[in-house]
Amino acid sequence: MYTGRTIFSQVMRHLPWHRFHRIIQHYRGDYKVKSFRCADHYQVMVFAQLTYRESLRDIEACLRAMRSKLFHMGIHSTVSRNNLSNTNERRDWRIYAEFPKVLIGEARRLYTDEDLGVDLGATVYALDSTTIDLCLSAFPWARFRRTKGAIKLHTLLNLHGAIPEFVLISDGKLHDVNALDHLIPCPGAYYIMDRGYLDFGRLYRLHSARSLFVTRAKANFKFRRRYSHPVDRTTGLICDQTVLLSTFYPAKAYPEPLRRIKFFDVTTGLRLVFLTNDFASPALTISQHYKLRWQIERSSNGSNNISASRPFTAPVPMP
């Protein structure tokens, strides 16, 4: 009979538990807690995610079926629906928000030397959203349409290692551009976004924070050309211009010049118009920046595929 560590225990031992216990002490997570401490709570929820448990009852039934192995898994408390429900509701959520930041910092160091195929001198993020359909009768708080429920998941993805560094869960009606209000810009970082995030006031906030962005212009984009830079049309570039916004309110929201790049993609036959505040990089490199985001969206096979794992669907109330 095998008497060593369980696979779950071997996975969990790689986590920096000393950092987690510091966070618990900082927020006094285990103050006056006699059983089912924060470490046990965290491991139970990780187990539920890794094994696709679908409810609190499912978690309880699964773990009680292997009660003799719980200690060897690192779980030192009895797991019950009542404990899980009360803990999910009352425990300070900041404990479990701070620890992923620690893990993201460690994962980021592992991918610092990853080659993305484009010469990038900064951290590159792709910002996008996904609408997740929900059953309206089971989730009445998630009303999206008259007979349809949904939430929206806004994700900021670090392209080095495909690490999600910011996740915002909102109701399905929230427009994509509002996610920029919750984003803390990182100076020197690149933010790659589609046209759903085109709001010049919010883009100017990124510019003022010394962040760089690349997005696509809308069809009704009004501008005044200040200067045209020479381009090599054999690479697919059509024009590279320095422009100013000509409409009153956009120009008031973004008073600085923008760079407008028009590019023809031979693989799709599309003419793409990019807007950026990066005046230092070559125009072709900026076009390739946006193509990195495109590659993630369109990948369905191979090592570049980023597929969402099945989410944990225990009934946690929305704020």
* 5-14, 228-237, 243-252: segment of lowest average pLDDT: 5-14
pLDDT of 6 strictly over 60: yes
Average pLDDT, the chain: 84
**Can you say whether residue 137 is alpha, beta or left, with left for phi > 0 and alpha for psi between -120 and 50 degrees?**
alpha
Pairing of strands 163-171, 212-216: unpaired
* 76-80, 104-108, 198-202: segment of lowest average pLDDT: 104-108
153 with 239, same domain: the answer is yes
User: Which residues touch 266 (CB under 8 Å, ≥6 apart)?
Assistant: 236
Q: Which domain range does residue 189 map to? A: 111-298
130 with 211, same domain: the answer is yes
Rounded Cα distance, 69 and 5, in Å: 10
Orientation angle between helical segments 81-90 and 38-50, nearest 10 degrees: 110
Q: What is the mean pLDDT of residues 230-257?
A: 94
Which structure tokens are listed for 139? 């989730």
Q: What is the mean pLDDT of residues 94-108?
A: 86
Cβ–Cβ under 8 Å, residues 214 and 164 = no
pLDDT of 303 strictly over 80: no
Tell me, yes or no, whether 252 lies in a domain.
yes
What is the reported pLDDT for 135? 87
Q: What is the CATH number of the domain that holds 286?
A: 3.90.350.10
Please state, for a pLDDT cut of 70, what percent of the chain lies above it.
87
* Distances, alpha carbon 219 to alpha carbons 19, 191, 198, in Å: 49, 21, 12
47 with 82, same domain: the answer is yes
Q: What is the mean pLDDT of residues 212-225?
A: 92
| Closest CA relative to residue 288, chosen from 186, 176, 159 | 159
What is the reported pLDDT for 28? 92
Orientation angle between helical segments 56-65 and 81-90, nearest 10 degrees: 130
* 38-42, 133-137, 239-243: segment of lowest average pLDDT: 133-137
286 with 143, same domain: the answer is yes
Of the pLDDT bands very low, low, confident and very high (cuts 50, 70, 90), residue 314 is very low
Over residues 34-73, the pLDDT tens digits come to 888 999 999 999 999 988 898 899 999 998 888 888 888 8
Judged by DSSP in three states, 165 sits in strand
160 with 241, same domain: the answer is yes
Q: Report the number of distinct structural domains present in the chain.
A: 2
Cβ–Cβ under 8 Å, residues 120 and 278 = no
What is the reported pLDDT for 297? 57
21 with 154, same domain: the answer is no
Tell me, yes or no, whether 204 lies in a domain.
yes
* Distances, alpha carbon 28 to alpha carbons 31, 75, 89, 95, 107, in Å: 5, 20, 16, 9, 27
Torsion angles phi and psi, residue 212, rounded to 5: -110, 145
What is the reported pLDDT for 300? 34
100 with 163, same domain: the answer is no
pLDDT of 299 strictly over 70: no
